[in-house]
Amino acid sequence: MDRKAKYGMSDGSEAEFDRAMAHFEAGDCTAAEMTCRALLDSEPNLVDGHHLLGAVLLQAGRPEDAIKALTVAAELAPKEPEILGNLAVAYEASGASQQAANVYRTAINLDPADPHLRAAFAAVSQRLGEHEAAVVGFRKAIDLGEVTAENLYGLALAEKVIGRLEDAIVSCRRLIEQVPEHAEGLHLQAICLSEKGNYEGAAQSFDKLIALEPGFSGAHGNYAVILTKLNRRPEAHAAFELAVKAPDVDADCLLNFAMMLEEDKQEERAYEFYRRAFKLEESSAVVCECLAKQAMRLDKNAEVAEIFTDLTLRQPSLPFVWFYLGQALLAEGQVELARQAMDRYLSLEPDDKLGSQLVLGAGGAIPLPEGPGEAYLRNFYRIRADHWDETVLDSYNGHDILMRSLKICLSGRPVTTRLLDAGCGTGSLGVRMKPLVGSLDGVDISPHMVSKAREKNVYDSLETGNLFNFLVARKNKYDIIVAAAILFHFRDLTAALKLIFTALRPSGEVIFTLFKNTVNDLRLNDQGFFEHSSGEIEACITEAGLQLVDLYEAVHEYNFDDEPRPCFCVRCVRS
């Protein structure tokens, strides 16, 4: 239907409209605006006149004025999706993304088969953080035939954000099949493959991306992380060296390179890159932690104490900054200032998830605490959950030590033996114990650890919770309780063993490990773990009503400097 028939436009008005359109198409927005306004002076209710004026003003970079003109057009013709679509574009150009999304919805209701409206709505939804809506919008646009690189990339990105990694990988593949040299698509595909654990596939995508666009932002740093996971460390080191020279290098890249240098014993360079990461992201808890730990290793505590003091002036509400300041001051012997910093930390984070009382106790600034709080334990093991299964395979003997004692304990016992894995972690020890017993239960305070353990499907019962509360509710239930690297969190060993006693059946046994203290005094080490002497352990066993069966010394693990950490493996029976 032509304009005259649709809107009642006169011949004169149509000619004037055509002149305005010609100016617009020629890029002369000033002449187009003047012609449109003259036309509207004579016919103020001319829909196309207001619509064209809005388009002209939008192209001229005046979105607020465009909104006024397009709103009039939409009021005069409320069922025209094209007008609404342009109004939405104007809203978006003005920064009013939510209004744009609302107008797109109205336009789509009028013309649900328009793929351009669907794609535009998906894009604005993505910018609003409404990624589920973006996925639906992009998929509908693609189903309606708008299979563009822009829509495929938008879909893949939205799918990745909401955790649909398999779908995102499929969308990336479709995109790269259509546009093999789509750098953003290759990068997104590499990231998605990495998050799915397909490091070889991720490396291949990065290879293609870097060959195509060597300067792609972040590519070398992300590639280096993948190469590290593939144990291709020389290549990873070379990729990091390129990445950290880029003018737009981010804190994550600097942090990852520093961690690699630290692992390679390049301590001073690691510290240098932690400092660089701090300059970019001083409010990052991870960056501050790594900087503080490396400073302690290099005896640069006075330097970081000054750094963190300055940061507390700029950002006094960051709790972890006060914690690491207190830690550095304590290492420098400034005990009172350390206590003051830790008090400030506790005022901001009363649950003490970083363990300020453990640090002060270990440093002699306060009496030894009874042990860490639940918030500390949950945080401590949350950080370690993702990599714990790898950790127990590298420089860690704790599980081998316990398995040796468990096999001796099980000799002569019926296969129906019921065993509790106390502090089961990710289930890495449970996997080894399960074939040897009739029933295996697990409990751990960390939801993240328990989630990993549940994936292994070896426990007959698995719970998240406080170990002491768990034991109280299960009197005379277990033939064997194994506590691998868990009792060293507690100062009062007797109290823990008494609860274990009540949860054991008569003649039941407990096997546990504790870090060794070579003197008779109880000690809290620099890792926040209690160390016990053999004499103290034997006394606690007796007081708890248990009978010692075996106590032997072994190397539990090796620390960062490859120094052995001795432990006792203890086996007791409830007589």
Q: Which residues of 530-545 are buried (b: 16+ CB within 10 A; e: fewer)?
A: bbbbbebbeebbeebe
Q: What is the pLDDT of residue 329?
A: 97
d(CA 29, CA 180): 38
Q: How many helices (H) and strands (E) does the chain have?
A: 30, 9
Residues 159-216 have pLDDT tens digits of 999 999 999 999 999 999 999 999 999 999 999 999 999 999 999 999 999 999 999 9
Q: What is the pLDDT of residue 8?
A: 52
Structure tokens at 440: 């295996």
Q: What are phi and psi of 13, to 5 degrees?
A: -65, -40
For residue 567, which of 550, 551, 554 has the smallest C-alpha distance? Answer: 554
Q: What is the pLDDT of residue 335?
A: 97
Q: What is the pLDDT of residue 299?
A: 96
Task: CATH number for 299-367: choose from 1.10.10, 1.25.40, 1.10.3470, 3.30.70.
Answer: 1.25.40
Q: Which letter does DSSP use for residue 365 in this model?
A: S
Residue 575 burial by CB count (10 A; 0-12/13-18/19+): exposed, middle or buried? exposed
For residue 533, which of 559, 557, 515 has the smallest C-alpha distance? Answer: 515
Which residues have C-beta within 8 Å of that of residue 80, sequence separation ≥ 6?
Answer: 47, 73, 74, 110
Q: What is the pLDDT of residue 383?
A: 86
Q: Where exactly are the structural domains of the chain?
A: 250-295, 299-367, 378-574
Give pTM, 2 decimals: 0.80
Long-range contacts of 78-82 (CB under 8 A, 24+ apart): 79/110, 80/47, 80/110, 81/107, 81/108, 81/110, 81/111, 81/114, 81/117, 82/51
* CATH superfamily entry for domain 378-574: Vaccinia Virus protein VP39 (3.40.50.150)
For residue 479, which of 458, 449, 506, 500 has the smallest C-alpha distance? Answer: 506
Q: What is the pLDDT of residue 433?
A: 96
Q: How many CB atoms within 10 Å of residue 524?
A: 23
d(CA 178, CA 150): 11
d(CA 471, CA 496): 10
Euclidean distance between the first and final Cα of the chain, in Å? 98
pLDDT in tens, the chain (575 residues): 344 444 456 667 888 999 999 999 999 999 999 999 999 999 999 999 999 999 999 999 999 999 999 999 999 999 999 999 999 999 999 999 999 999 999 999 999 999 999 999 999 999 999 999 999 999 999 999 999 999 999 999 999 999 999 999 999 999 999 999 999 999 999 999 999 999 999 999 999 999 999 999 999 999 999 999 999 999 999 999 999 999 999 999 999 999 999 999 999 999 999 999 999 999 999 999 999 999 999 999 999 999 999 999 999 999 999 999 999 999 999 999 999 999 999 999 999 999 999 999 999 999 989 999 999 999 999 988 888 887 777 778 999 999 999 999 999 888 789 999 999 999 999 999 999 999 999 999 999 999 999 999 999 999 999 999 999 999 999 999 999 999 999 999 999 999 999 999 999 999 999 999 877 667 888 788 999 999 999 999 999 999 999 999 999 988 777 788 999 999 999 98
Structure tokens at 177: 């099949």
In degrees, rounded to 5, the angle at the alpha carbon of residue 13 between the alpha carbons of residues 10 and 17 is 135
Residues 405-440 have pLDDT tens digits of 999 999 988 878 999 999 999 999 999 999 999 999
Residues 386-414 have pLDDT tens digits of 888 877 777 789 999 999 999 999 998 88
Q: Annotate 384-445 with DSSP letters as a single string.
A: HHTTHHHHTTSSB-HHHHHHHHHHHHHTTS-TT-EEEEET-TTSHHHHHHGGGSSEEEEEES
Q: What is the pLDDT of residue 520?
A: 63
- CATH fold match for the domains 299-367 and 378-574: no
